[in-house]
Structure 1
Amino acid sequence: MESKDKFFRKKSTLNCRGKILSLDKPLVMGILNVTPDSFYAGSRLSSPDEVVQRAKSMLEDGADILDLGGYSSRPGAADVSTAEELDRVIPAIEAIMQAFPGAVISVDTFRAEVAEASVKAGASIINDISGGNLDEAMFETVARMQVPYILMHMRGTPQTMNSLTDYQDLVLDVLDELQVKVAQLKSLGVNDIILDPGFGFAKTVDQNFELMHRLEELRVLELPLLVGVSRKSMTYKYLGIDQSEALAGTIALNTIALGKGADILRVHDVKETKQTIQLYTKVTH
């Protein structure tokens, strides 16, 4: 493992509008959904007050980043207008920043307009599930705002992605498609790029497991790696359980992801994930 780490010299910090996050140890990103239809009911929040209370709990449990989303990206989710997404996200960002001025907020959006307004309201990371595919202005916007950008692999839209799961070689195809985007972002001057292989997005349950098995192959791009498998179908469908019972499976998969080089874990359950990282780090360092 040590020799691999020396070979793949990925970036070790993220500049979040002047606040530097170190990637020397894995980070925890807590999920905050200001949506009525996110796939996991336990993550749905309906008002700024609810968002602040959940943010408080996550920060106390050790969250390094809060990931705020106003557009459900679950398979087959209904479309939401830009205006409605802004109405959900901006008041929530402002409320969190007022309550916790030092918080690092990531905004889960594929729209450049929402990304720009979110950064102006206090967000410092853009998490784009579409990897720039759904808004041609996104890359230039991120470059202009000079914030870290999470580049996720997806095909199509949340409404069509389940029909776009044909790959010649899953991991090599994902790498090829991400590499093109990384080159575009770097040419525009985006300094902090984080890769997300997109578990559950344009991938079957079996493909998700193959992606996890081969996760370390993504390290060839020498960029920080985010893994988001929290309570997703690869856990609860495979085990034949409800999403509410998927915490143990999520922890198991996240532990495997840590062993394969994950730098950021995006989760619903911050406290349990923080404990997992503490134990993993104790054993491996």
Structure 2
Amino acid sequence: MNPPQPAALVLRGRHFGAAQPAVMGIINRTPDSFYPPARYVDVEDALARADAMVGEGVDIVDVGGVRAGHQGDWVEADEEVARVRPFLERLRQRHPGLLVSLDTWRAEVASACDGLIDLVNDTWAGADGELVGVAARCGVGYVVSHTGGLPPRTDPSGVDYGPDPDAVVDNVLATLAKGARRAVEAGVDPAAVLVDPTLDFGKTTENSLRLVAVTSRIVELGFPVLMAISRKDFVGETLDLPVEERLEGTLAATAIAAWQGATVFRTHDVRATRRTLDMVASIRGDRPPVRAVRGL
């Protein structure tokens, strides 16, 4: 059986798909990210990390100014802008050809970064109903996510999609399909609309594992799929490992999702993810080996 062929993703003229999945590197302009090595409070440190990511094969850099979970102080919109905009300005000057994503749920933050980003990563599933319209007006891509109805910066508790293990899959598919239609209707280029099952958000560990296992069903929605797997709790709980020891589990899940046609992988570990995706693409038959001289 041939592996699924994903829909193409197009951002600022760059195309990604089965032969070239995209690595999205994470830079958190926060003091409280769940993974300490991804905290870049100092702008110069953040720029140095971006430089390193470029050397490691990154395609998109995803910049956030607020921790996803409820831990840490509440961050108002003006503070979020102050954390991300100066860095985005410097990043654009330093790497003008680099694709940049903004991780925010707030329309006013995205508006303040107009001209500096190529993608809005709306991790909180349209909690701010104006955000998708901002993405359309700015002419950038948009990520549709699934949080099980949770508001921003809340951790899941008492999650229950019912006794059928595929109930969460059906819920995710329906939500993502609706969100993708809304993005297109708002004016976002269909080739720049991504769908993200948003593992861990509003989900149990079993829910997230199931969604990785059936990535191909998400691919069948007809939009490029973003998988944010990197060092998440479902990996840690599955293997009983702390965040600093979750790389191998992350890469295993990455390979499974890539084989099934996911296109973009948000990661803390750019080089390892780039190599994993390239190897999977070659096994799928979509990417030729760089060298093939053995046995000739």
Matched, 1:267 2:267: yes
Residue in structure 2 matched with residue 60 of structure 1 by the alignment: 55
Comparing both structures, which one devotes a greater share of its residues to helix? 1
The 1:173–1:272 alpha-carbon spacing in structure 2 relative to 1, beyond 3 Å, is same
Give 1:131's aligned amino acid: A
Q: How is 1:1-285 mapped onto 2 (pairs within 5 angstroms)? A: 1-2=1-2, 4-5=4-5, 11-16=7-12, 19-23=13-17, 24-120=19-115, 122-132=116-126, 134-154=127-147, 155-163=149-157, 165-168=159-162, 169-191=167-189, 192-285=192-285
CA distance in 2, matches of 1:146, 1:77: 33
The 1:64–1:4 alpha-carbon spacing in structure 2 relative to 1, beyond 3 Å, is closer
**Mind listing any 5+ residue stretches in structure 2 that lack a counterpart?**
286-296
| Paired positions, count | 277
Give 1:226's aligned amino acid: L
CA distance in 1, matches of 2:269, 2:186: 35
Does the CA contact (< 8 Å) of 2:23 and 2:270 recur in 1? yes
Deviations 1:53-73 (A, max 9, x none): 000000110000000000110
The 1:279–1:220 alpha-carbon spacing in structure 2 relative to 1, beyond 3 Å, is closer
The 1:92–1:237 alpha-carbon spacing in structure 2 relative to 1, beyond 3 Å, is same
Among all aligned residue pairs of Structure 1 and Structure 2, give the percentage whose two residues are the same amino acid: 32
Deviation at 1:93, TM superposition (A): 0.3
Does the CA contact (< 8 Å) of 1:51 and 1:96 recur in 2? no
Deviation at 1:21, TM superposition (A): 3.0
Give 1:186's aligned amino acid: V
CA distance in 2, matches of 1:188, 1:104: 22
CA distance in 2, matches of 1:82, 1:149: 19
Does the CA contact (< 8 Å) of 1:32 and 1:51 recur in 2? yes
Indicate the larger mover: 144-153 or 52-61: 144-153
CA distance in 2, matches of 1:49, 1:282: 36
Does the CA contact (< 8 Å) of 2:7 and 2:223 recur in 1? yes
Does the CA contact (< 8 Å) of 2:4 and 2:260 recur in 1? no
CA distance in 1, matches of 2:113, 2:42: 17
Give 1:149's aligned amino acid: Y
Higher relative contact order (CA closer than 8 Å, sequence separation 6+): 2
Please state whether the residue corresponding to 1:221 is helix, strand or coil: coil
CA distance in 1, matches of 2:274, 2:4: 25
Please state whether the residue corresponding to 1:143 is helix, strand or coil: helix
Does the CA contact (< 8 Å) of 2:200 and 2:208 recur in 1? yes
Deviation at 1:2, TM superposition (A): 3.7
Please state whether the residue corresponding to 1:273 is helix, strand or coil: helix
**Aligned Cα root-mean-square deviation (Å):** 1.7
Give 1:83's aligned amino acid: D
Please state whether the residue corresponding to 2:101 is helix, strand or coil: strand
CA distance in 2, matches of 1:249, 1:11: 26
Please state whether the residue corresponding to 1:66 is helix, strand or coil: strand
Deviation at 1:27, TM superposition (A): 0.8
Please state whether the residue corresponding to 2:244 is helix, strand or coil: helix
The 1:185–1:164 alpha-carbon spacing in structure 2 relative to 1, beyond 3 Å, is farther
CA distance in 2, matches of 1:233, 1:153: 17
Please state whether the residue corresponding to 2:120 is helix, strand or coil: strand
Indicate the larger mover: 257-266 or 49-58: 257-266
Deviations 1:41-91 (A, max 9, x none): 110001111111000000110000000000110354542100110000001
Indicate the larger mover: 62-71 or 150-159: 150-159
Deviations 1:237-275 (A, max 9, x none): 221221111111111111111112110111000011111
Residue in structure 1 matched with residue 292 of structure 2 by the alignment: none
Indicate the larger mover: 54-63 or 165-174: 165-174
Does the CA contact (< 8 Å) of 1:48 and 1:92 recur in 2? yes
